[in-house]
Amino acid sequence: MGRHIHVIGIGAGDPDYLTVQAINALNDTQVFFAMDKGLGKGGATRDLVALRRQICERFIREPGYRFVELPDPKRSTETDYREAVFDWHAARARIWAAAIATELAPDGVGAFLAWGDPSLYDSTLRILDAVSAEVDISYDVIPGITAVQALTARHRIPLNEVGASVLITTGRQLRARAVTGSAVVMLDAECSFLSCPPQTRIWWGAYLGTADELLVAGTVGEVGTRIAALRAEARARHGWIMDTYLLQAPD
């Protein structure tokens, strides 16, 4: 049958976000490959690795599985951003291919646990595609609950205006280009919402799905500076933060 890999979306915070499909895939896995440096710095890596282990302990009925930690190659800061990311993915693909070939039996089942869903700002699927050119593997994807869904559920809001589209973007992109309509912003370390017109509506969430969850909603003019202060305080206290927000530009 050959080596098989499950890429399992584990949801963006709450272990209760795991789907039945994800739990079945966890129970089918012999080797979990963990590549956690990419998730965040310092305490984030430690906390998120711990959460993954808790998920396995809670949902796997017959523990006989192993964790294999994959070293993370350094990303160059000297070349162009896209080129650096491309080289970094290629270096990771070589490491993953070697680990899969040595750690997984020829008919074994391995897994990568992807935070939220692997389709959203996650490099696992791009790297596995490159890995499959080097070792003979098949793989499947188990969808997970993204931070976007966690955000809209906790604020009890729809994502889109009636019949309208939604942009999913990053803080870096938001600073470069003003938003029209609705936009979800992820990967924003700089409170980029402060650059939006004050009438812009914002629904903000940090540590969604966890006991430390923070939620604030209003207009940027009303709540923007409060979010920035809350964010800085929480980040200092935890040593890391993950936050996401939905913006609705004024008409």
Ligand X SMILES: C[S@@+](CC[C@H](N)C(=O)[O-])C[C@H]1O[C@@H](n2cnc3c(N)ncnc32)[C@H](O)[C@@H]1O
Task: Name the residue with the smallest CB distance to ligand X.
Answer: 116
**Any contact of residue 187 with ligand X (CB under 6 A)?**
yes
Which span sits near ligand X by CB under 6 A: 54-62, 71-79, 120-128, 221-229?
120-128
Of residues 8, 206, 227, 246, which one binds ligand X by CB under 6 A?
Answer: 206
The whole-angstrom separation of Cα 128 and Cα 131 is: 5
Tokens of 166: 């939604």
Of residues 243, 246, 247, 248, which one binds ligand X by CB under 6 A?
Answer: 243
**Any contact of residue 50 with ligand X (CB under 6 A)?**
no
| DSSP designation for 70 | P
Tokens of 207: 């540590």
Residue 36 neighbours by CB under 8 Å, 6+ apart: 45, 48, 49, 52, 69
Residue 74 neighbours by CB under 8 Å, 6+ apart: none
Of residues 35, 111, 242, 246, which one binds ligand X by CB under 6 A?
Answer: 242
**Any contact of residue 205 with ligand X (CB under 6 A)?**
yes
Of residues 174, 208, 223, 246, which one binds ligand X by CB under 6 A?
Answer: 208
> Taking CB under 6 A as the criterion, which residues in 141-160 touch ligand X?
146-147
Distance in Å, CB of 120 to ligand X, minimum = 4
Closest CA to 133 of 105, 89, 94: 94
Residues in a beta bridge with 180: none
Tokens of 91: 């270096």
Positions that interact with ligand X (CB under 6 A)? 12-13, 115-117, 120-122, 146-147, 186-187, 205-209, 242-244
